[in-house]
Amino acid sequence: METKIYNSQSEIDTSKLRAWAEIDLSKFKHNIEVIKKLLHDDVEIVGVVKANAYGHGDVVVAEYFESIGIKYFAVACIEEAIKLREGGIKGEIIILGWTPSCQKDELIKYDLCQTLSSEEYAEELSKLPGVVKGYVKLNTGMNRLGEPKEHLDLIEKIFTLDNIKIEGIFSHLSRADSKLEADIVFTKQQIANFDYIINKLRDDGFELGKLHLQNSYGIVTYRDLHYDLARPGIILYGVPTDPLDDTLEHLPDDMKFEAPLSLRCKVAMVKDVTPGQSVGYGNNFTATETIKVATITIGYADGLSRLISKKDMKVLVNGKFARQIGNVCMDQMMIDVSGIDVKSGDTVTLIGQDGDNYLPVNQISLLSNTITNETLSVIGERVKRVYHL
């Protein structure tokens, strides 16, 4: 079923919504324009839409990317790739992770590009019938996937295998977001390792295809790099990886990223809680004075970590700040709305703008002791995604 895209936020009908994520597609266009300013003119963008486009909705986001000129996409696994292809995405789809070799026929059927994570794995694919497209993964220091420069002979062997069409080569920068001197040195060594292998392969006469190394912070921090493609992930979604990182904030005013996603839910019930009464599971909050408490329709099964419990997390109700109290429940949580005019059915904002006030995703990431990538990508399936321009 085709997803409705509203012309503006004001058109969205929330009457039947319990918990929802509003995605402003126009902010993706803005972020892509910023990324292009950070790259050399001839570098093309690979839209990383793995993990349901970091919780934003993979097919709709990829469709929008394609509509504004993105030709390459990256996902984590074959299931995500097939979903995009069946959703009508025409561009090249790169599977960054491992696919069982027994699914080679599906890789071919859906015209997918498989990461060749080792010579051994490439040989497995080679021995099976049919020609599959692949990108050779290099291990430049992260030690997750790929062959290192010490295995140059194995890397070169991949290029000679039957039944594999090499589309390009890539690696991944694992510390490019860090400002620590040791991590900067490490990242520069990763770049040097990548270039060493590339130059050796060229010297030995191999056709390399498209080259890509820069991830989000490779784009933002190591702007002098110049390869064929770049793979922005979290910056496409307008936020930093580390909720305390201010790198993106220090970019020039015309290069500021914008977060497309807002997270909202409803007020289910409002009640007075008197001194001595507890709220929620485990008797972990007891009122010391009469307060007004609202139960709201979102919980940890929606991806809102229980780790935020009892840390005075702020939400917005009718433009005013309220605080979370007690333990987050599976499907609901409670907030102190004393002094706020609020009733059942009102909208609560956990991420995003309400009136003059704004709550970034960073708050939830900090309180749950994680990175924003995780906070966004774990937003649950029952949180309805609604889109507007």
**Which segments are annotated as binding site for substrate?**
144, 330
Distance of CA 228 to the CA centre of its chain: 22
50 belongs to the catalytic site: yes
Which H helix or E strand runs over 125? Answer: helix 119-127
Considering the candidates 36, 281, 310, 320, report the single residue annotated as catalytic. 281
Q: How many angstroms separate the CA atoms of 373 and 144, rounded? A: 18
The first and second tokens of residue 84, run together, are 């995009």
4 belongs to the catalytic site: no
The first and second tokens of residue 386, run together, are 């609604």
Q: How many CA atoms, within 13 angstroms, populate the side-chain half-sphere of residue 384?
A: 17
Q: How many angstroms separate the CA atoms of 244 and 275, rounded? A: 37
User: Which residues fall in the annotated binding site?
Assistant: 144, 330
316 close to 322: Cβ distance less than 8 angstroms: yes
Q: Which residue has the tokens 């990317």?
A: 65
Backbone angles phi, psi at 294, to 5 degrees: -110, 135
Q: How many angstroms separate the CA atoms of 304 and 323, rounded? A: 15
- Residue 170, number of CB atoms within 10 A of its CB: 28
Q: How many angstroms separate the CA atoms of 63 and 114, rounded? A: 21
The first and second tokens of residue 153, run together, are 């002979």
Q: How many angstroms separate the CA atoms of 245 and 81, rounded? A: 31
Q: Residue 301 in 3-state DSSP?
A: helix
Considering the candidates 27, 50, 83, 210, report the single residue annotated as catalytic. 50
Distance of CA 344 to the CA centre of its chain: 33
302 close to 329: Cβ distance less than 8 angstroms: no
Burial code (b: 16+ CB inside 10 Å, e: under 16) for 290-327 equals: ebbbbbbbbbbbbbbbeebbbeebebbbbebebebbbb
Going by the DSSP 8-state scheme, the letter that residue 346 receives in this structure is -
Q: Residue 187 in 3-state DSSP?
A: helix
- Catalytic site positions: 50, 281
